[in-house]
Amino acid sequence: MLTNEDRSRVGAAAVGVAALGVGEAIAATRGGSLIDTVGRALIDAVPVPVVEAAVAMSGRHDKVATRLGVAAGVVAGAVGLGGLPERLRTPVAVASGAGAAVLATRLSARSTSTVAGAVAASGVLAAGLRRRPHGLLGALGWLATGAGMFAAAHTLQHDLDRKQNNDIRRIGSMGALGVVPQDGLEDEPRLSPLVTAAHRMYVADVNLRPPRIDPAHWRLSVTGKVAHPLRLTLHELAEDAVEFDAVMVCIHNHPGAGRAGNGRWFGVPLSDLLKHAIPESDATRLVTRAVDGYTISLPIEPLRSGEWPGYVVIGMNGEPLTPAHGFPARVFVPGLYGQYTGTKWLGELELTDDTHVDYWPRRGWPAGPLWITPQARIDVTAPGRAAAGTTTIAGVAWAPPHGVAGVEVRIDEGDWHPADLATELAPAAWRRWRTAVELPPGDHRIQARAISRSGEVQEGRHRPSFPTGPSGYHAITVHA
């Protein structure tokens, strides 16, 4: 049997669901989201060890996990609110709504609708919790309201996404993927493709949903310490863009994981843009700033000289960037880890001095930039059961920007044996490899390591991602 206390808790939780649903629906009318705004505030506020643990635990589903966490937090908050003396409930509900509204103005690109959503949600919360207890039937009514509102929010967001995708489709091609690149290992179907399709590419960022950017109004501005500020359209950038092949790797990619992908990118060399803008003599940092204010900065000198070939990228695999991967533009310096390479959803390149501090260093990461270390991943054979005798082992390896000079494989901590390397697409791209090993019956541990053309051998000692990047070998266990 439910006690009265239980009933009132269930009722308060249901009011919490309804309040969040109403807020979410109102925010969605112009593409905002209350849950995502609070989620982003959470991501920005929790200490780095908590972020690291969450990334490790939730992997590819980190965004879903964050949203569920926010929703659970709001519902728990509503239950807590319901337990307060009556005279405190309204002020606390209003205060939490005001807090969310302030966050929205600071963090959300669509702040007006998100602020309206926060106000509406706190109103529903205050009204719903004015009295208690609620009967179970009443709770069902609040829950149904919440569900309907979430459905409405989903439909609104979906329509806006469809409009954005249509805008992107109308742009047409970005680069010429006439021929599909080949490296000679096309007969190994279980191996990762040589070029990662955009929809198969990992997604890593602090936004719970990508900012929606209208390409007709978007401009890239080059500002700050320059003699000749620039304002460029997507079309103007496309006229000066070139294609290049390179692997993008997240610093959270521990050996064997999937936070890496190889693309054929289309972009304007940063050295060209800098030449046109004419940096002033005291300009030392290039700040890449996303439309939502997120920044990653890079030293100007090696970019200007071309020592680090960096690009403003506007296309991937012959098409415009997808929203998840930074449409309409991102900065990419092959060889640097994703969180140091430049921002997605680029709005501005600002030339400044070394007083600028970026998002990640403010949160405890080294100022960087940090370079990707050589890594080999085993894709074939899958962990588990393998036939005894000759078994194919194959995978991908990278060591940007110098390139992969060798991949070696060993069984049960035995001697390292070189694998065959596929044709290299580009030094900064990933390189596929394959070998055949003899497996006696029993359990075996198979490991691989990469060696870069600069002589760097993949480090075998395990190291976590924080603070300078992961190390260790990918290992799979098979039963032959």
Ligand X SMILES: Nc1nc2c(c(=O)[nH]1)N[C@H]1C(S)=C(S)[C@@H](COP(=O)(O)O)O[C@H]1N2
Q: Which is nearer to ligand X, 142 or 365 (CB)?
A: 365
Task: Figure out which of the listed residues 12, 247, 250, 378 binds ligand X, where binding follows CB under 6 A.
Answer: 250
Q: Can you tell me the distance from the alpha carbon of 325 to that of 176, in angstroms, rounded to the nearest whole number?
A: 19
Q: Is 433 in the site for ligand X (CB under 6 A)?
A: no
Cα–Cα distance measured from residue 262 to residue 372, given in angstroms and rounded to the nearest whole number: 14
The helix (run of H) or strand (run of E) holding residue 238 is: helix 234-239
Task: Between 113 and 339, name the residue whose CB sits nearer to ligand X.
Answer: 339
CB of 232 to ligand X, least distance (A): 19
Partner from Mo ion, ligand X, none contacting 111, C-beta within 5 to 8 A by type: none
Q: In angstroms, what is the minimal distance from the CB of 319 to Mo ion? A: 23
Based on CB atoms, which residue is closest to Mo ion, 94 or 206?
A: 206
> Residues 142, 150, 202, 266: which binds ligand X (CB under 6 A)?
202
Q: Which of residues 260-299 bind ligand X (CB under 6 A)?
A: 290, 294
Site membership for Mo ion, residue 465 (CB under 5 A): no
Q: Output phi, psi for 289, to 5 deg.
A: -115, 125
Q: How far is the CB of 27 from ligand X (least distance, A)?
A: 21
DSSP 323: G
448 contacts which partner out of Mo ion, ligand X, none, CB within 5 to 8 A by kind? none
Identify which of residues 40 and 134 has a Cβ nearer to Mo ion in the complex: 40
Is residue 345 near ligand X by the rule CB under 6 A? yes
262: which 2 tokens?
């190889």
Residue 381 near ligand X by CB under 6 A: no
DSSP 447: E
329 touches ligand X by CB under 6 A? no
Pairing of strands 220-224, 346-352: parallel
Q: Nearest Cα to 383, choosing from 476, 445, 446, 479?
A: 476
By beta-carbon proximity to ligand X, the closer residue of 333 and 405 is 333
Residue 206 CB, nearest distance to ligand X (Å)?
A: 4
Distance, CA of 4 to CA of 310 (rounded, Å): 64
- Residue 432 binds ligand X (CB under 6 A): no
Is 250 a binding residue for Mo ion by CB under 5 A? The answer is yes
DSSP-assigned letters across all residues of 220-237: EEEEESBSS-EEE-HHHH
**Cβ closer to ligand X: 186 or 214?**
214
Q: What's the closest the beta carbon of residue 395 comes to Mo ion, in angstroms? A: 21
Q: Can you spell out the DSSP letters for 385-442?
A: E--SEEEEEEEEEE-TTT-EEEEEEEETT---EEPEEPPPS-TTS-EEEEEEEEE-SS
The two beta strands, 375-380 and 330-332, are unpaired
Q: Is 156 in the site for ligand X (CB under 6 A)?
A: no
* Residue among 18, 26, 204, 451 that touches Mo ion (CB under 5 A): 204
Selected from 325, 377, 431, 444, the binder of ligand X by CB under 6 A is 325
Residue with tokens 């991967």: 325
Characterise 23 by phi-psi region: left (phi > 0), alpha (psi -120 to 50), beta (else): alpha
Q: Which of residues 394-423 bind ligand X (CB under 6 A)?
A: none
Cβ at position 55, least distance to ligand X in Å: 10
DSSP 110-142: THHHHHHHHHHHHHHHHHHTSS-PPPHHHHHHH
Rounded to 10°, the helix 4-28/62-82 angle is 130
Structural tokens at position 333 = 């310096």
CB atoms within 10 A of CB 322: 18
Binding segment for ligand X (CB under 6 A), chosen from 204-212, 271-279, 402-410, 417-425, is 204-212
From the list 164-172, 217-225, 341-349, 368-376, the region that binds ligand X by CB under 6 A is: 341-349
User: For ligand X, how many residues bind (rule: CB under 6 A)?
Assistant: 17
Which residues, numbered 308-347, are part of the site for Mo ion (CB under 5 A)? 338-339
DSSP 178-221: -SPP--S-TT-TTSPPSS--GGGS----S-SSPPP--TTT--EE
Return the range that interacts with ligand X (CB under 6 A); candidates 46-54, 128-136, 234-242, 340-348.
340-348
Closest CB to Mo ion among residues 339, 452: 339
Residues that bind Mo ion (CB under 5 A): 204, 250, 338-339
Residues that bind ligand X (CB under 6 A): 201-206, 248, 250, 290, 294, 325-326, 338-339, 343-345
